[in-house]
């Protein structure tokens, strides 16, 4: 349905008339839904989210506060996006490990004939334009997936991954800038001055 006053909205929510927002969807304060975007039954978008033109959020998908989902990105259920996630233009979060349109006997597959699996994206993480996350995978906190990457396995916190299949090529800090090694497993963000520590392939900030 096109958004109407029956949609449960928070304060200062903006929904373009051409957007398709289910009555059972919930939109947090300050969230903006742009032209031709679709928000399906039971989906939840937190406060001050932005859903770009033609973007899709599937049934029951949970999106945290301050999330930006760019034009034509596709977020299929049962994905979960934490606070501050960025989903670039035309990125795809899949939900079927063995996709088929028909069963082996040639009959069309129904909703009951497969079990959807989801992608989980941690706080502050970014998914580049046209990247694909092949469920089930978890993208760690503040990680960055490069444009066009194909993610087929879990991505650690603060990891920078590129390629198809995606592989780690470095670390990034909260500012999104690649970190510089300064010795003894310590990495520094040149923009903020923050330090991070590599503990056996797991990066933690200097306060831990």
Structure tokens at 26: 């919930």
For 86-138, what is each residue's pLDDT tens digit? 999 999 999 999 999 998 889 998 888 889 999 999 999 999 999 999 999 99
Domains of the chain, with CATH numbers? Answer: 14-102+115-176 (2.160.10.10)
Hunting for tokens 């089930």 — which residue is that?
A: 136
Structure tokens at 4: 């109407």
pTM of the complete model: 0.92
Q: Are 22 and 42 in contact (CB under 8 A)?
A: yes
- The pLDDT value recorded for residue 113 is 83
- The pLDDT value recorded for residue 10 is 62
Hunting for tokens 């066009």 — which residue is that?
A: 148
Q: Are 113 and 97 in contact (CB under 8 A)?
A: no
Per-position pLDDT tens, the chain of length 208 = 333 334 456 668 999 999 999 999 999 999 999 999 999 999 999 999 999 999 999 999 999 999 999 999 999 999 999 999 999 999 999 999 999 999 888 999 888 888 999 999 999 999 999 999 999 999 999 999 999 999 999 999 999 999 999 999 999 999 999 999 999 999 999 999 999 999 988 999 875 4
Phi and psi torsions of 113, nearest 5°:
-95, 5
- Could you tell me the sign of the dihedral formed by the alpha carbons of 10, 72, 133, 98, in that order? positive
The DSSP-derived string for the chain is -B--TTS-B-TT-EE-TT-EE-TT-EE-TT-EE-TT-EE-TT-EE-TT-EE-TT-EE-TT-EE-TT-EE-TT-EE-TT-EE-TT-EE-TT-EE---SS--SB-TTSPBP-GGG-----EEE-TT-EE-TT-EE-SSEEEPTT-EEPTT-EE-S-B-TTEEEETTTTEEEEEB-TTSPBPEEEETTEEE-TTT--EEEESSS-EEETT-
């Amino acid at each position: 349905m096109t958004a109407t006053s029956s949609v449960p909205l928070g304060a200062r929510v903006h929904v373009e008339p051409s957007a398709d927002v289910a009555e059972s969807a919930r939109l947090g304060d300050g969230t903006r839904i742009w032209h031709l975007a679709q928000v399906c039954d039971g989906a939840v978008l937190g406060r001050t989210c932005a859903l770009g033109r033609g973007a899709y959020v599937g049934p029951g998908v949970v999106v945290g506060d301050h999330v930006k989902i760019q034009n034509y990105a596709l977020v299929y259920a049962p994905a979960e996006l934490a606070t501050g996630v960025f989903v670039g233009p035309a990125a795809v979060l899949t939900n079927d490990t063995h996709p088929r349109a028909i069963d082996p006997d040639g009959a069309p597959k129904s909703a009951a004939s497969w079990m959807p699996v989801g992608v989980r994206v941690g706080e502050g993480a970014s998914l580049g334009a046209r990247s694909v996350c092949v469920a089930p995978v978890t993208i760690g906190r503040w990680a960055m997936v490069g444009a066009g990457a194909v993610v087929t396995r879990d991505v650690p916190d603060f990891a920078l991954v590129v390629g198809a299949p995606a592989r780690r090529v470095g670390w990034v800090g909260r500012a999104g800038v690649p970190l510089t090694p300064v010795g003894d497993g310590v990495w520094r963000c040149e923009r903020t001055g923050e330090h991070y520590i590599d503990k056996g392939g797991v990066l933690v900030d200097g306060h831990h």
